[in-house]
Structures are given as structure tokens and as C-alpha cells.
Amino acid sequence: MPKQKTSRAAKKRFKMTGAGKLLRRRARKAHLLEKKSAKRKRRFRHQDAVSGSDSREVRRMLGLKRERS
């Protein structure tokens, strides 16, 4: 059976923590920043966890078999 290839797009967008959680960047920080408050833009800097319903698909794209314990 051939090896499963990692999605290069997913590899650039998601990161796994040591505990096995998946992280993603927050949306809405690409453009039109003048009208957004400084507090709101500051919050965009931090990464957020991938939702549980999406994590299975992201793991598949990254070539991960199962969750780490």
C-alpha cells in the first residue's frame, strides 16, 4: 500500500502542539484593518484551536492516524 501524502496546504496552515492539539490562525486579519479596533487586531495575533468537528479532517490532511494521548 502506498504512503499517504501530506497536504502541503494543510501543513502550512496548521500546527500540532505537544499535547496533540491542532492550532490554526484566526480569520479576518488579512485586509481592511483600519476600521478594526486595536484590541480586536491584537486578538488576531494568537492562534486558536481547530474545532472538534474539523480536527478529524485536518488530521487526515496532515497524514496523522489518530490522536496522541
pLDDT (tens place) for every residue of the chain, 69 residues total: 888 899 999 999 999 999 999 999 999 999 999 999 999 999 999 999 999 999 999 999 999 876 655
The contacts found for 10-18 with CB under 8 angstroms, 24 or more apart, are 10/58, 10/61, 10/62, 11/62, 14/50, 14/58, 14/61, 14/62, 15/47, 16/62, 16/64
**Which CATH number is 8-62 given?**
4.10.410.60
Domain residues of the chain, as ranges? 8-62
pTM of the model: 0.80
